[in-house]
Chain A
Amino acid sequence: MTAIAENQADVRRESRAPRRSFGHWGLVGWVYLVALLLFAILPMIWMVLTSVKGQFSALQYPPQWIPQNPTLEEYRRLLSPNNDVGQEFIGYLLNSIWVSTATTVLGLLVAVPAAYAFSRFRFPGRQFLFYAVLLRNMFPAVVFLMPLFIMMRWFGLVNTQWSLILTYLTFGLPLSIWLLKGFYDNIPVELERAARIDGASRFKAFVLVVMPLSTPGIIATAIYSFILAWNEYVYALTFVNSKSKLTLPVGLERFFTEYATNWPGLMAASFIMSVPVVVLFLVLQKYFVRALTEGAVKT
């Protein structure tokens, strides 16, 4: 067994090996990679470094490259409900969690059957409808802001979190459907045929056979729509006004204008906002990257 495994590993290594062409191109590549890594990560490092400085030491010139008296004071203040700042911040945090979760759950309920149908069924107009759904991504958010705002007013949804949930639902859908369709395309149809022969209805075959197999796809899609809702800014800025209903990205702005000079606080808040997204993404990177690019490469 191990011999076979090793053999296979050898074969795989061999088939990948030609990529390793060093020499001066290799060196250029390394330098480029390091420079790009620094470009990508240094702003984030500066965010963290600033967030553990005191308000006073953040405003020194030249700046302290390494904080001399690192303190978690700002984090403590933001995350303890015993003071005004913390109370406000935790409120935004909970709002964001609620809006993102609701968007994700509703989005999956709508996207899963649609993606499945686009992947499996051959009804007339399928292609047209698929591209029509995808086209939503082409439309700028700004174009939709005004009419949606007016529509939300008609339905009395302005300044409620439902206005955000409904909106996020729609702009998350296209890519969710695309991602999920990619996963369904990879599940052999034979499995469902077998289930059908055993007497399952089409719907039952879908729920009992296909759904469990596409769990990774569903998780990746869920994470995608969660991140989308978590990070969204324009609609949240426009549709919701009252402090008690704001989500984090817009809440941060309030935080900024009210405590104008508190850069460490703002950086700490930004950091807290970024952590869940970055962690979720990095843990599920593999699924996510695959799903995101599948459509682009295959089509």
Chain B
Amino acid sequence: MTTATYQVDTRAPRPVRRPRRRSVWAEMRHRWADYMYVLPALAVMMAVIAYPIYYTVFLSFFKTPPSLAMDDKIFVGFENYGRILTNDSFWSTTWNTLIWTFFSTFFAYVLGFGAALVINREFIGRGIARGILLIPYVISAVAAAYVWRWIYHSDFGVLGALLTQLGLADGPVVLLDSVDRVLTALIVVNVWKEFPFAMIMMLAGLQTVPDQLHRAARVDGASAWQRFWHITVPHLKGVTLITVLLLMVTNLGSAFTIPWIMTGGGPVGASHIWITQIYEIAFGRIRFGIASAYSVILFIAIMSLGVVYVRALTGGDERRRQE
């Protein structure tokens, strides 16, 4: 190695020519092979995203016959929207949707965050505890809905029996058939189903909090509460934002199975939320036009949430790039 001779280049350094920035089109043509990898995914997504969205908006301006052949539909402009917005049941359903979304999200997040905090400590049986806490999340919503329906059963439900034996209630406890209690009962089930999701998200977030900060703060005499509030909480801002948004979007637009199987919107519409109402209009009464208009309203609500969501995601990306 030491005997190797090095040839010294004595020529004047060549001016460094920056590679000319190619135009986007040239770049795309140059990298055409890259697109082949994502093409199948994109094709599938486009076929079932772009077109359905277009078609829903399109259909929302038509009066459709109560048959599945969409042949003789009549253009009615914004009439469908008008009919929805002037209907009293729309506003009670909207109110239900707000309550459902807010409380489901709030309690799922709070319970899940609490669970993440206790699970984050080391103790024997931690893995088992985490596994048990995750069960509600992985189990089929259908199975969950039936089990809870059985637990809530007015005559033979175990919850009613338990409350009676503890002296907290006398006589049968009516939950799903009571106009006043049905929504609360459903929210409990929904929280049960969703809190593990918040837990795993927050758990992952907690594991990114550097131990050194905690130790340093301890040396400086910070109490457990102060450390939690000034170190843990600020670190979890990003994860919290994403978790809460995902929960809200799910509750607003996808948490259909539990309310549908447990009550189907009843009794007398007391537990209808937007999604169950849309489903009933579309496939119960076969009114695709109105249901489409309703979907567009839901869609706008979710998209406004989505903007925040994507911003949260991309904002995080930029932060990472700067690090």
Listed in ascending order, the chain A residues whose CB lies under 8 Å from chain B are 15-16, 18-21, 23, 25, 29-30, 32-33, 36-37, 39-41, 43-44, 46-47, 50, 58-63, 109-111, 113-114, 116-118, 121-125, 127, 129, 131-151, 153, 166-167, 169-170, 173-174, 177, 202, 227, 230-231, 233-234, 238, 249, 252-253, 256, 263, 266-267, 270-271, 273-274, 277-278, 281-282, 285, 289-290, 292-294, 296-299
Contacts and interface: CB of A to CB of B under 8 A. Distances in A.
Given A18-B215, A29-B117, A124-B28, A142 B253 contact: yes
Contacts of B9: none
Interface stretch (B11-19, B81-89, B148-156, B178-186): B148-156
A142 B62 CA distance: 18
Interface string B30-47: 010111111011101100
Secondary structure at the B interface, as helix, strand, loop or mixed, is helix
Contacts of A169: 44
Given A146-B292, A173-B45, A296-B239, 12 more contacts: A18-B218, A47-B143, A62-B161, A109-B40, A124-B24, A129-B42, A136-B45, A143-B253, A143-B298, A146-B56, A231-B140, A274-B140
B6 interface: no
Given A25-B224, A63-B158, A297-B205, A273 B143 contact: yes
Contacts of B143: 47, 252, 270-271, 273-274
B122 A16 contact: yes
A36 B28 contact: no
A33 B130 contact: no
Interface string B242-285: 11000001001110110011000000000000010011001100
A142 B279 contact: yes
Contact of B132 (A40, A109, A234): A40
20 contacts: A25-B225, A29-B118, A32-B115, A33-B115, A40-B133, A110-B40, A114-B42, A123-B34, A123-B35, A142-B253, A142-B279, A143-B56, A150-B70, A234-B256, A252-B146, A256-B146, A296-B201, A297-B205, A297-B208, A297-B239
**Shortest 6 CB-CB contacts between residues of A and residues of B:** A140-B253, A293-B204, A117-B37, A147-B52, A114-B41, A270-B143
Interface of chain A, main secondary structure: helix
Contacts of A148: 48, 52
Contacts of B135: 40-41, 44, 278
B75 interface: no
Contact of A173 (B44, B131, B142, B158): B44
Given A129-B38, A270-B146, A270-B147, A19 B120 contact: yes
B254 A141 contact: yes
Contacts of A253: 142, 261
A267 B150 contact: yes
Q: Which of B59, B249, B283, B302 has the most CB of A within 10 A?
A: B283
Interface string B54-65: 011001000000
B142 A36 contact: no
B182 to A, nearest CB: 18
Contacts of A117: 34-35, 37-38
Given A141-B254, A145-B282, A299 B316 contact: yes
A299 B134 contact: no
A147 B51 contact: yes
Contacts of A263: 150, 156
A122 B35 CA distance: 10
Contact of A50 (B37, B56, B150, B208): B150
